[in-house]
């Protein structure tokens, strides 16, 4: 499941492969842009903002994509076999050395580069951006004190990037019950600081390791470990699965007591 650091890493790889290259063929398999052809234009830059990935192309055009649950960009050498079915392809950007193939992208649209700010205006500070502003992230986080912390952490208007893995792991690492109202979370500034540190630690791998242990089954404290013993206290990890699989919550009832039980 893509999180902000995954998209950041994808943008880094795409930039390395494509920036400065001339597009030799493009395909946009979305109805609105099916006839667009950007071949002959140069890829100027590839950047991420939260979970949004922007490919800036010559002529003042930006390809704006969003991964949502299932999206991914793959890079292939010419003639290499794709690791995904053709019917899931939304965008294809071909250059001489590399072909970038966007699979299952929830959003794929061409916009004026000058209008990038409009599509990203709602986003909160990005922990991986050069202009990361923790004070502003904290202000946005605590602005709705009655909201459960787990919900606030997924709100991209608070911080651009965290997804469900980080939501679960952040609550565990801060010892906070995921349904604690934001206003009762102790030292929320430390939570904001932790978001930035975790993102930074994973910016080169996108592997979301929060335990410091890369062995299978040991990479996360609680995420994906429902029913398994807590790595810290041995209590069974609890799961609450709403209809939206992007919001399933894992937590340790002992390490993360409800606010009233805090001693």
Binding-site ranges for Zn ion (CB under 5 A): 230, 232-233, 235, 252, 254-255
Q: Is 89 exposed, middle or buried (0-12, 13-18, 19+ CB in 10 A)?
A: middle
Beta bridge partner(s), residue 53: 48, 65
247 assigned to active site: yes
Nearest position to Zn ion, beta carbon: 230
Q: Which lies closer to Zn ion via its Cβ, residue 150 or residue 252?
A: 252
Q: Where are the beta strands (DSSP E) in the chain?
A: 25-28, 43-49, 52-57, 61-66, 72-76, 89-94, 99-103, 107-112, 238-240, 249-251
Tell me 72's DSSP state: E
Provide, rounded to whole angstroms, the least separation between the CB of residue 237 and Zn ion: 8
Residue 75 C-beta: closest distance to Zn ion, Å: 40
Q: How far is the CB of 241 from Zn ion (least distance, A)?
A: 20
* Residue 2 among the catalytic residues: yes
Name the minimum Å distance from CB 236 to Zn ion.
9
- The nearer residue to Zn ion, 33 or 172, going by C-beta atoms, is 172
Q: Which residues are CB-contacts of 54 (< 8 A; sequence separation ≥ 6)?
A: 11, 46, 47, 48, 62, 63, 64, 65, 116
Taking the complex as a whole, the smallest distance from the CB of residue 251 to Zn ion amounts, in Å, to: 9
Q: Catalytic residue, from 247, 253, 254, 259: name it.
A: 247
Of 48, 51, 50, 37, nearest in space to 91 by CA = 37
Sole residue written with tokens 């609550």: 171
Write down the catalytic residue from 15, 49, 51, 140: 51
Residues in CB range of 136: below 8 A, 6 or more apart: 124, 125
Choose between 214 and 233: whose C-beta lies nearer to Zn ion: 233
Shorter beta-carbon distance to Zn ion: residue 58 or 175: 175
160/171 with CB nearer Zn ion: 171
Residue 248 CA: distances (Å) to CA of 19, 29, 225: 37, 31, 12
Given the residues 3, 27, 94, 169, the one annotated as active site: 3
Nearest to 98 by CA among 25, 202, 10, 38: 25
Q: Name the residues annotated as catalytic.
A: 2-3, 51, 247
């Amino acid at each position: 499941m893509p999180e902000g650091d995954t998209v950041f890493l994808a943008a880094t790889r795409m930039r390395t492969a494509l920036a400065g290259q001339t597009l030799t063929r493009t395909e946009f398999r979305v109805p609105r842009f099916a006839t667009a052809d950007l071949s002959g234009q140069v890829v100027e830059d590839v950047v991420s903002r939260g979970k949004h990935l922007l490919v800036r192309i010559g002529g003042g055009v930006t390809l704006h994509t969003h991964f949502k649950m299932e999206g991914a960009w793959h890079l292939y050498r010419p003639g290499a076999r794709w690791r995904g079915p053709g019917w899931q392809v939304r965008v294809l950007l071909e250059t001489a050395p590399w072909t970038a193939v966007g699979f299952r992208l929830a959003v794929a649209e061409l916009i004026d580069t000058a209008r990038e700010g409009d599509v990203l205006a709602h986003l909160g500070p990005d922990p991986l951006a050069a202009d990361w502003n923790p004070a502003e992230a904290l202000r946005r986080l605590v602005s709705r004190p009655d909201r459960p912390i787990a919900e606030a952490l997924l709100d991209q208007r608070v911080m651009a990037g965290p997804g469900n893995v980080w939501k679960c792991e952040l609550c565990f690492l801060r010892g906070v019950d995921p349904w604690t109202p934001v206003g009762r979370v102790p030292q929320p500034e430390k939570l904001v600081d932790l978001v930035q540190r975790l993102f930074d630690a994973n910016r080169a791998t996108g592997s979301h390791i929060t335990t410091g242990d890369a062995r299978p089954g040991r990479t996360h404290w609680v995420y994906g470990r429902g029913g398994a013993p807590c790595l810290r206290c041995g209590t069974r990890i609890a799961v609450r699965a709403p209809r939206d699989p992007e919001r399933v919550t894992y937590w340790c009832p002992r390490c993360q007591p409800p606010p009233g039980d805090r001693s």
